[in-house]
Amino acid sequence: MKKHKTWDGDGVLAVAGGYARLQNIDGRDMGRCMYNEPLLPGSTLSIGGKDVEIDAAITKAEFLSGRQFLNNGGKSTTADSHSSPAARPPPHPTLSNISKNNSTSTLGKRKDSGLGSVIPAKSFYASAPKNDAVKSQFKNPLLTTTIMPQNKSGAPTPRHDPSAPGAIVMQRPNPKYVAKGKQVVDVVVDPFLGRHLRDHQKEGVKFLYECVMGYRSFNGQGAILADEMGLGKTLQTIALLWTLLKQNPEHPHEGGVIKKALIVCPVTLISNWKAEFNKWLGNERIGVFVADGSKNIRLTDFTHGKSYSVMIIGYEKLRTVQEELKKGGGIDIVVADEGHRLKTAANKSAQAIKNLNTERRVILSGTPIQNDLSEFFTMVDFVNPGLLNGYNTFKKCFEAPILKSRQPGATESDMEKGTAREEELAELTKLFILRRNASILAKYLKPKTEYVLFCKPTQAQAEVYQHVLASPVFGRVLGSSEASLQLITMLKKVCNAPSLLVKKSDTDTPSNSNVAQLLESIPPEILKKNPVVASSKFRVLNRMLLRLSKSTTEKIVLVSNYTSTLDLLMSHLSSLNLPFLRLDGSTPQAKRQDLVNTFNKTPASKYFAFLLSAKSGGAGINLIGASRLVLFDVDWNPATDLQAMARIHRDGQKRPVKIYRFLMSGGMDEKIYQRQVTKMGLADSVMDGKKNEASFSADELRDLFRLDVNAQCQTHELLGCECGGVGREEPAVSSSEIPEPNTEISASEDDEEDDDDEFPINPACSLVPATKANVEAQQKIALEAIKGKQSKKAKKMQALMEYRHIDTSIFHVKSADSIATEVNDAKQSLDDDVLLSVLEDERCKVCYVFAKKG
């Protein structure tokens, strides 16, 4: 036994059922032991070879939250974005900060060189003119200024008037952290920009400012602006950077808080960022350096010069110039647009930004959580390193309990712990993550309606699909993960058009021999059929384009994940003599913004459609010249689709917006869409604090490759919805129909029902002698069955219950008078004459429509 024991760190002792379990601060189990005496502060015991002394007690709620495993310095996580939490101490100076401060003090306090007395600077200038006209101050004929005049006494004054009407005044630093003798001044957003900001944008600028200045109650200077697409994240960022570049609350005479700002974005958005700076600030106010890959650019113009304060660069380009960016004064703040690209720890662009040693980091992303919590951790750790501790600790203490609580077989203890950890994570991260949805723009934007069109497969599509699945090679393909992925892509193309499987060259042959063999076995005459004949999606689109072009002056955006599909769409538009523009990965960067501007400014007679690659142009591009958008296929990542769909519903849109998502009913398209819903449930839960269940069980998605040609709409059947397919809300069970029993049904009893089988025949309806009937007991059983069924359905596909579900067969009933009310209800739910004309065509291949306004 050691004579002089050493302290080995803090830990957590969980006491229950006569046992004490020890975990270190990383959440790792250190051992457990029995105890016979009360464990109070000061008590000691030995566990796993460690001598433990109890310091203090925490409540069960605190333990379940996992707060003790976080690296937030014991700070409270209860502050919200509207409060004014105490400012934290300034961060430790970095090497670059020290060099800057030293160089400044050296220039300001140069020692006497010993070469005689120092000649006053004013001796080198001519005497002041005596003529009043010459003495009058120069007035700029172009720019009006909102800068306040300096105080004659020399006392620091704000750059802009904080008492002016509509002034956006930033939070002041905590006085106890202000250097002695320093006078704090108000930081006010430049009214030149401030008058363009809406209320939510003003709140966003203040939030970001407080985060990067270290004024909020967490350890870090990073933030994530996670507003949904279309809420003006770009303008909020420009207002933040302009404020930081020009103002400083503690050192107003020394310029702004920052000198150099770096904006990293996808290469497709470089021109858009440049245009936005020019739009809001103009070239005369700020110098913006664009590193777009041109050979004649010199990075030293930005790093060492004073003409440029902001650099815009692509993620790929950044990796090659990171060392050069460290030179000069360095980078003071980094903004990562579409920052969900930094979701993996091994991401080279994220490593390049970290190498810049910049503490102030801001991520802009409309979809911060796309697939799992590990990606969310990576993004949080990027903006505020170490705040959630290491990933292993986060996984053990947060990710694993949260995911375990969502499993069908989770115990009550698992769900309690998982819920507490999820709430604690949301409570902490809301201190530096700001997320607002598009509903706050309802009073500014035009109304939007989303439609999911389930297209019944054509005979050609069904034949190709079934041929693939019936092939003896199919079983061998499923044995390889690589081959399975290639087969999924192949079936996705079948959902678009069978002709996409036709080889254009030898390079189109699948790398997996089994998949290549399977593809070659498909009869070529099926693949050569015209898409308008062989594809249900093309049939629907053809009818929609004709109706839209002839009866309206609206324009449309057609989005696909495949350039081969864009090629087919382009050929089809040409055959209809409908003019179009196209943007995909092959479009030169210099021409992309010009294409967008041309489309937005010209009428439909000039350019009727815009063909857009979801991966190359789905993020950040503003296509408000169109009021309708078709998402022709789906992606596994819901963020890709959401980004593409948000291109037209934005500020500046003049018409009501209609967005159509095309799915081949029963095929790969619909299965992927079902899977998307489960991913969005995770994002809503963590980001918005919503408690959503997983939407589909593993059993419901086990047969990914199955083609169900008999089901009218598989997704609607899985919902268990009783709307009748006429666009009505699902009827609720009234208490008058089923009397309330005396004994209440607990939530835990409801939650135990996890299977997907239908309930058996209601026991209350069976025949028994009246003398033996227990009416109250039967009513209780009946209500329990109905409540359990409703609870089970609510846990499934909660997001899709916000849609109205319409069975299009009601538009083809010959004796329509008998269902006139249902037809009218369906038409009102659609509220789209163009779509209605498509659905009323007896040759229409749409079997079901989900419609949602908002």
Q: What is the pLDDT of residues 315-371, one digit of tens each?
A: 999 999 998 998 888 899 999 998 888 877 678 888 899 889 899 999 998 876 655
- What pLDDT shows up at residue 79? 41
Segment 162-170 mean pLDDT: 94
Measured CA angle at 628 (ends 727, 634), to 5 deg: 75
Q: SS3 of 631, please?
A: strand
Segment 373-379 mean pLDDT: 87
Taking a C-beta distance cutoff of 8 angstroms, is the pair 788, 813 a contact? no
Statement: residue 542 has pLDDT above 50: yes
pLDDT tens digits, 379-421: 999 999 999 988 999 999 888 998 888 776 788 888 898 889 8
Taking a C-beta distance cutoff of 8 angstroms, is the pair 227, 215 a contact? no
CA atoms within 13 A on the CB side of 437: 7
Segment 708-733 mean pLDDT: 71
H or E segment at 364?
strand 360-364
Statement: residue 446 has pLDDT above 50: yes
Segment 123-128 mean pLDDT: 41
181-195, 361-375, 562-576: range with lowest mean pLDDT: 361-375
| Domains in the chain with CATH codes | 11-57 (no CATH), 191-436 (3.40.50.10810), 455-529 (no CATH), 535-664 (3.40.50.300), 721-752+773-795+803-854 (no CATH)
- What pLDDT shows up at residue 839? 92
Taking a C-beta distance cutoff of 8 angstroms, is the pair 495, 661 a contact? no
- What pLDDT shows up at residue 572? 96
Going by C-alpha positions, the residue among 197, 208, 220 that lies closest to residue 362 is 208
Six-digit token pair at 91?
């961060």
Statement: residue 254 has pLDDT above 50: yes
- What's at 753, amino acid-wise? E
**Could you tell me where the beta strands, DSSP code E, fall in 647-775?**
657-664
Segment 808-836 mean pLDDT: 82
Compute the Cα dihedral for 206, 212, 218, 223 and give only its sign.
positive
Task: Choose from 31-35, 136-140, 466-470, 495-499 the range with maximum mean pLDDT.
Answer: 495-499
Task: Choose from 45-49, 166-170, 754-758, 788-792 the range with maximum mean pLDDT.
Answer: 166-170
H or E segment at 799?
none
Taking a C-beta distance cutoff of 8 angstroms, is the pair 653, 442 a contact? no
- Beta-carbon neighbour count of residue 100 at 10 Å? 16
Segment 525-545 mean pLDDT: 92
- What pLDDT shows up at residue 368? 66
Segment 459-471 mean pLDDT: 85
Going by C-alpha positions, the residue among 140, 204, 138 that lies closest to residue 170 is 204
Going by C-alpha positions, the residue among 743, 742, 719, 714 that lies closest to residue 730 is 719
Segment 147-161 mean pLDDT: 76
Contacts of 701 (CB under 8 A, 6+ apart): 671, 674, 675
pLDDT tens digits, 568-602: 999 999 999 999 999 998 888 888 889 999 999 99
H or E segment at 648?
none
At 818, is the pLDDT very low, low, confident or very high (cuts 50, 70, 90)?
low
Segment 42-61 mean pLDDT: 81
**Could you tell me where the beta strands, DSSP code E, fall in 618-678?**
628-631, 657-664
At 17, is the pLDDT very low, low, confident or very high (cuts 50, 70, 90)?
confident
Average pLDDT, the chain: 77
Statement: residue 606 has pLDDT above 50: yes
Six-digit token pair at 459?
């005979």
Residue carrying structure tokens 């250190």: 30
H or E segment at 71?
none
Statement: residue 554 has pLDDT above 90: yes
Q: Greater confidence, 223 or 678?
A: 223
Q: SS3 of 852, please?
A: strand
Six-digit token pair at 463?
């034949």
Phi, psi of 837 (to 5 degrees): -65, -30
Burial class of residue 753 in the structure, from the number of CB atoms within 10 Å of its CB (0-12 exposed, 13-18 middle, 19+ buried): middle
- What pLDDT shows up at residue 437? 83
Taking a C-beta distance cutoff of 8 angstroms, is the pair 43, 360 a contact? no
Going by C-alpha positions, the residue among 846, 453, 449 that lies closest to residue 662 is 453
Statement: residue 783 has pLDDT above 80: no
- What pLDDT shows up at residue 698? 36
pLDDT tens digits, 205-243: 999 999 999 999 899 999 999 998 878 899 999 999 999
Q: Greater confidence, 616 or 327?
A: 327
- Residues of the chain with pLDDT > 90, as a percent, come to 32
Q: Greater confidence, 328 or 87?
A: 328
